[in-house]
Amino acid sequence: MFDARSLLVYCTANQALRCAPIADRPHGGLVVAPHQGDEHGLLETAAYLLGRARFGAPLLLDAARYAGPDRMPARAPFNPRWLRRQRELGLPVLTDSGYVDAGDEAGLASILHRAMAIPDAIAVLPLHPAWLRDRLHLTRLTGHLRDAAVPVALVLEARADPFALPGCVPGLLALLGGATPVMLLRCDLSSLGALCHGAVAAAVGTVAALRHLAPRETDKIHPPATIFKPTMSYRRISAVQRAKRTRPDPRLWSCDCPACGGRELDWMAALDERAREVPAFEHAAAVLYELRDELLGAGLPLPRAARSWAARCADAASRERELGWAVTPMLRQWQDAGPNPVDMPMAS
């Protein structure tokens, strides 16, 4: 299904044709969700990508019924037509799962039990972060995954980056240490950490709203941000511009990726805010794939990849401090996490 430790691009159907050339590469791939709930348009886009566009990397479709103000609960039945259409297109079958709230063990079990009955299905698990952060939740989750023995695709809810929350990284490592194949959807730079610790694939969202699952009541619009490679963090273009004024060293800010073409990263500040979204993601994707190859290229064994990831996080945090930026919480969480988390916090 995937090359080993694939880094995927997560986008909506209206973004897919622009994202396809970026994701169509070895160890790449594309995960596409409906645009404004249009499932029919999503299926048409997938058919076009596989046909006339000749997209050759792995392609997955996420119904994303777990998202938005009218999201479905975990025990909502799967749509047989959705499952059938994925199979007819020759794609991996992702379940159209609803949201698994904290404490909804029956809903969790329902998704996994139904996925067991679908040949070669990947069970999408859109989870409240307590399932990773809380010891009791994590114990029950790992038990159900062990019993079901089906591959899973995790989607984590948070107001911002879920892996900035204490306990989420150790919880993820506990899952990756089991026998269940795990992939991540709607992620950001933690996708690389997950791949370095054994995730089969991880998908990075094109915009902030697609890099995590927002709580139902959240309706916040995030200004475009992109990745500054030395600090391995997403930064708003305005923040990059301000930081460059204090350290105007071209070697620090210039970028040779296809989007930047040798310009200094704050070139996007001259664009209207809405016009920044596309180059911001194109630059971020180039950085992410470059980091993926540096961390995991040439079949680097996982223990070494994990150590390299931790060292990168420590170096990135140090560079943030040098620039006068607060350390990105995700970097701190990955530094502090061990390979075998034992003492899990009790999340509220």
Confidence of residue 4 (pLDDT cuts 50, 70, 90): confident
**Among residues of the chain, what percentage have pLDDT more than 70?**
95
Q: Where are the beta strands (DSSP E) in 30-179?
A: 30-33, 59-61, 93-94, 121-127, 152-156
pLDDT classification of 348: cutoffs 50, 70, 90: very low
Adjacency order of strands within the sheet including 182-187: 59-61, 30-33, 6-12, 201-205, 182-187, 152-156, 121-127, 93-94
Architecture of the domain whose range is 6-210: Alpha-Beta Barrel (3.20)
Mean pLDDT of the chain: 93
The model carries a pTM of: 0.94
Domain with CATH 3.20.20.105 in the chain: 6-210
Mean pLDDT of 123-133: 98
pLDDT for 25-79, tens place per residue? 999 999 999 999 999 999 999 999 999 999 999 999 999 999 998 999 999 999 9
Query: Could you give the 3-state DSSP secondary structure of residue 143?
Result: helix
